[in-house]
């Protein structure tokens, strides 16, 4: 059983403790380093954010307080919170909130579970494991054009693969776009297909920190794959799972591409003939770009940000124990 830092990673310098004879200048440098280096290290991110992330945010925020028309820049008037008030009372908006949240649950949960299972399996010494590991990432590599094409074919009413398979067991052809739950299920399939490998790779990376000996010992005890997954992999990966859950939540709140592609009506952003799968970002796009109500669309964007925060906060509070220590020692 391993204990303590392994030889490979220990630096070769410890045998004799260096005498702490630093002169004043060095001590000053040392303190400055301890104090300021963190800020230097995080600076690139924040500089870029201030440069390119903050302006769009503030611009959108400002626009949301006006009645700005998309194609009439400069003549908008300040309307305060009017857009937000209208939004809160807007049935169409709450419909999209419902759709987004439903899709979030339908997509995230299976995706993460599958990703975990896949990563666990891929962690072992499988034959052709590298090809398999790369293989699961292919959906994310596949271009949008191909994805749209393939899934349009698969969920096609008259000649699609799924309806054909259902026909074999005597079920009538389903119009996947038209139904509330059928459309959401189809979109969930698209999202899960596309993002499971992505998360599996992240889990795979994190699993490398689990000592191989643990798995070997478990195998010696004749514990099967699933037992190993449950008792060894899962506890080690809790923080990573929390991380992917957070990222998935944020991504699902902004779900845009898959529902857009799924709507067969050309160029439609209404999420189906009855808005059955219109998500918040589609709604934002429709209001801002198709109808030209940029102020209203900006309000949707900001409300989305606030809601994402709220949800993420709730999620964090619920899983707080699982996040793990921050381990600030240096």
Restricting to residues 307-326, name those near other proteins by CB under 8 A: 308-309, 312, 324-326
For the chain, give percent helix, strand, coil, nearest 5: 70, 0, 30
Give the footprint of other proteins on residues 118-157 (CB under 8 A): 118, 121-122, 124, 126-147, 149-150, 152-153, 156-157
Q: Give 5 or 170: the residue with its C-beta nearer to other proteins.
A: 5
Q: Give 85 or 212: the residue with its C-beta nearer to other proteins.
A: 212
Q: How far is the CB of 322 from other proteins (least distance, A)?
A: 10
Distances (CA, A) of 207 to 7, 117, 121, 180, 236: 21, 12, 11, 38, 8
Give the footprint of other proteins on residues 85-114 (CB under 8 A): 92
Q: How far is the CB of 146 from other proteins (least distance, A)?
A: 5
Q: How many whole angstroms separate alpha carbon 278 and alpha carbon 255?
A: 10
Q: How many whole angstroms separate alpha carbon 244 and alpha carbon 239?
A: 9
Give the footprint of other proteins on residues 264-293 (CB under 8 A): 264-268, 270, 273-274, 281, 284-285, 288-292
Decide if residue 24 touches other proteins (CB under 8 A). Answer: no
SS3 23: coil
Q: How far is the CB of 80 from other proteins (least distance, A)?
A: 19
Alpha helices in 65-179 (DSSP H): 82-88, 91-123, 129-135, 138-141, 144-154, 161-168
Residue 111 phi, psi (nearest 5):
-60, -50
CB 288 within 8 A of CB 297: yes
Query: According to CB under 8 A, which one of 27, 85, 227, 318 is a site residue for other proteins?
Result: 227
Decide if residue 25 touches other proteins (CB under 8 A). Answer: no
Q: How far is the CB of 328 from other proteins (least distance, A)?
A: 5
Residue among 295, 285, 305 nearest 81 (CA): 295
Angle formed by the axes of helices 144-154 and 161-168, nearest 10° = 30
Decide if residue 246 touches other proteins (CB under 8 A). Answer: yes
Query: According to CB under 8 A, which one of 87, 116, 188, 232 is a site residue for other proteins?
Result: 232
Q: How many whole angstroms separate alpha carbon 244 and alpha carbon 113?
A: 11
Query: According to CB under 8 A, which one of 27, 28, 31, 42 is a site residue for other proteins?
Result: 42
Give the footprint of other proteins on residues 166-185 (CB under 8 A): 175, 178
Query: According to CB under 8 A, which one of 24, 89, 172, 222 is a site residue for other proteins?
Result: 222
Per rule CB under 8 A, count of chain residues that contact other proteins: 155
Query: According to CB under 8 A, which one of 28, 181, 235, 314 is a site residue for other proteins?
Result: 235
CB 293 within 8 A of CB 273: no
Q: How far is the CB of 216 from other proteins (least distance, A)?
A: 10
């Amino acid at each position: 059983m391993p204990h303590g830092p392994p030889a490979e990673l220990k630096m070769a310098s410890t045998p004799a403790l260096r005498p702490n004879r630093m002169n004043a200048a060095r001590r000053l440098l040392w303190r400055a380093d301890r104090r300021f280096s963190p800020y230097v290290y995080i600076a690139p991110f924040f500089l870029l954010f201030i440069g390119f992330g903050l302006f769009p945010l503030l611009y959108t925020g400002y626009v949301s307080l006006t009645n700005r028309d998309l194609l009439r820049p400069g003549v908008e008037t300040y309307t305060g919170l009017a857009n937000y008030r209208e939004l809160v009372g807007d049935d169409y908006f709450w419909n999209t909130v419902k759709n987004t949240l439903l899709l979030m649950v339908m997509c995230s949960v299976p995706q993460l579970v599958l990703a975990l299972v896949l990563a666990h399996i891929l962690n072992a010494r499988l034959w052709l494991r590298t090809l398999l590991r790369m293989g699961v990432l292919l959906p994310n590599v596949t271009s949008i054009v191909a994805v749209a094409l393939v899934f349009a074919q698969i969920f096609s009413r008259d000649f699609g693969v799924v309806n054909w398979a259902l026909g074999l067991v005597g079920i009538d052809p389903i119009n996947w776009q038209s139904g509330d739950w059928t459309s959401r299920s189809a979109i969930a399939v698209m999202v899960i297909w596309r993002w499971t490998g992505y998360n599996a790779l992240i889990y795979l990376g994190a699993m490398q920190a689990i000592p191989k000996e643990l798995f070997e010992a478990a195998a010696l005890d004749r514990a099967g794959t699933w037992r190993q997954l449950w008792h060894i992999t899962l506890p080690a990966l809790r923080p990573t799972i929390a991380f992917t859950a957070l990222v998935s939540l944020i991504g699902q709140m902004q779900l845009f591409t898959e529902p857009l592609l799924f709507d067969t009506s050309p160029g439609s952003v209404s999420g189906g003939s009855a808005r059955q799968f219109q998500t918040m970002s589609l709604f934002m796009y429709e209001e801002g770009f198709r109808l030209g109500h940029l102020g209203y669309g900006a309000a949707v964007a900001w409300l989305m940000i606030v809601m994402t925060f709220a949800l993420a906060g709730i999620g964090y509070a619920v899983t707080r124990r699982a996040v793990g220590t921050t381990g600030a020692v240096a």
